[in-house]
């Protein structure tokens, strides 16, 4: 029986999906196959760094994957994210950010897969820098003023000489924000020309990251051992599970 994974979203989401599917395939001795969904607003491509299964999907598997039955049924019946068996294939479609789907696997299995991801993404602790601030902006806010106020509040609480990365570098040129940056002596690290994989690698060089629950920062804490403050209780529980498995207790607070 093949496992059919539908990946979608940015790198942070893809890592969750690929990790879960690899663990399912390993646990039951099944062959993993994949298809990537580009029908999302940002159209994020499938990461080239993460190993891709060699066997392509059949036409029938593509059709059933496109129907997104696991996601539809999980939402309709308000049940945890689960694979769905259809005509001899096991379909996986979801985010898999909660801890519950991973509790069926041994710590050793999770550890081995996390180390494999770490290797594929070329993340190599330890850290050389200290404090990074990740400002996740763009369409996460209703309007520009809301984003400015959020950044001003975040910046006002920063230690001096912090490094900053953001997905909206132009916003930091606003007089209100530029003034705070100058006062705090904070440094903006340009990332607009970097890939998501390169940004994750950059994040992993810092010992502490101040962020607002970005999945990319989550993976910097797991694969790179960065210390982060997670407000999202779901991600916090998953972080604890993964850190225990990988044998690293330095990623939480």
**Over the stretch 164-199, which tens digit does the pLDDT of each residue have?**
999 889 899 999 999 999 998 888 999 989 999 999
Topology of domain 129-246, CATH: Rossmann fold (3.40.50)
- Report the C-alpha gap between 134 and 128 in whole angstroms: 17
CA 188 to the chain's CA centroid:
22
- Report the C-alpha gap between 253 and 250 in whole angstroms: 8
According to the model, what pLDDT value does residue 150 have?
Answer: 86
Report phi then psi at 197, rounded to 5: -65, -40
The 129-135 sheet, strands edge to edge: 187-188, 163-166, 129-135, 206-210, 227-228
Summarised one tens digit per residue, pLDDT across range 85-144 is 999 999 999 999 999 999 999 999 999 999 999 999 999 876 777 889 998 876 667 788
Summarised one tens digit per residue, pLDDT across range 24-48 is 999 999 999 999 998 876 779 999 9
Antiparallel, parallel or unpaired: β 129-135 and 206-210: parallel
User: Structure tokens of 113?
Assistant: 């897969």
- Report the C-alpha gap between 144 and 102 in whole angstroms: 38
According to the model, what pLDDT value does residue 76 have?
Answer: 87
According to the model, what pLDDT value does residue 6 have?
Answer: 96
User: Structure tokens of 106?
Assistant: 């041994």
Q: Judge whether residue 222 has pLDDT over 80.
A: yes
Coil vs helix vs strand at 188: strand
Burial class (CB in 10 A: 0-12, 13-18, 19+), 83: buried
- Radius of gyration of the chain, Cα coordinates, nearest whole angstrom: 19
According to the model, what pLDDT value does residue 27 have?
Answer: 97
Intervals of CATH 3.40.50 along the chain = 129-246
According to the model, what pLDDT value does residue 9 have?
Answer: 93
Mean pLDDT rounded to a whole number for the chain: 90
Residue 249 binned pLDDT confidence (cut-offs 50, 70, 90):
very low
User: Structure tokens of 170?
Assistant: 């132009």
Residue 3 binned pLDDT confidence (cut-offs 50, 70, 90):
very high
Residue 158 binned pLDDT confidence (cut-offs 50, 70, 90):
confident
Residue in the block written with tokens 């400015």: 148
Q: Residue 159 carries which DSSP code?
A: P
Q: Judge whether residue 250 has pLDDT over 60.
A: no
- Report the C-alpha gap between 237 and 27 in whole angstroms: 22
Summarised one tens digit per residue, pLDDT across range 61-85 is 999 999 999 988 988 888 889 999 9
């Amino acid at each position: 029986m093949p496992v059919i994974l539908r990946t979608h979203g940015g790198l942070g989401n893809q890592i969750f999906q690929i990790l879960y599917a690899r663990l399912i395939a390993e646990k039951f001795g099944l062959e993993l196959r994949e298809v990537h969904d580009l029908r999302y607003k940002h159209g994020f491509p499938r990461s080239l760094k993460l190993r891709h299964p060699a066997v392509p999907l059949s036409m029938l598997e593509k059709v059933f994957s496109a129907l997104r039955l696991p996601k539809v049924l999980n939402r309709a019946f308000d049940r945890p994210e689960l694979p769905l068996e259809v005509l001899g294939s096991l379909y996986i479609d979801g985010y898999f950010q909660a801890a519950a789907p991973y509790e069926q696997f041994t710590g050793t299995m999770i550890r081995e897969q996390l180390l494999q991801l770490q290797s594929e993404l070329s993340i190599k602790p330890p850290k050389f820098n200290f404090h990074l601030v990740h400002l996740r902006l763009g369409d996460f806010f209703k309007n520009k003023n809301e984003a400015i106020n959020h950044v001003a509040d975040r910046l006002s609480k920063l230690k001096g000489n912090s490094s900053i990365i953001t997905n909206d570098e132009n916003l930091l040129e606003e007089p209100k924000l530029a003034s705070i940056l100058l006062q705090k002596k904070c440094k903006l690290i340009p990332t607009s020309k970097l890939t998501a994989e390169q940004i994750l690698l950059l994040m992993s060089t810092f010992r502490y990251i101040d962020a607002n629950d970005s999945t990319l920062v989550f993976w910097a804490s797991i694969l790179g051992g960065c210390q982060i403050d997670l407000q999202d209780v779901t991600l916090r529980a998953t972080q604890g599970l993964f850190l225990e498995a990988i044998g690293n207790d330095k990623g939480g607070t």
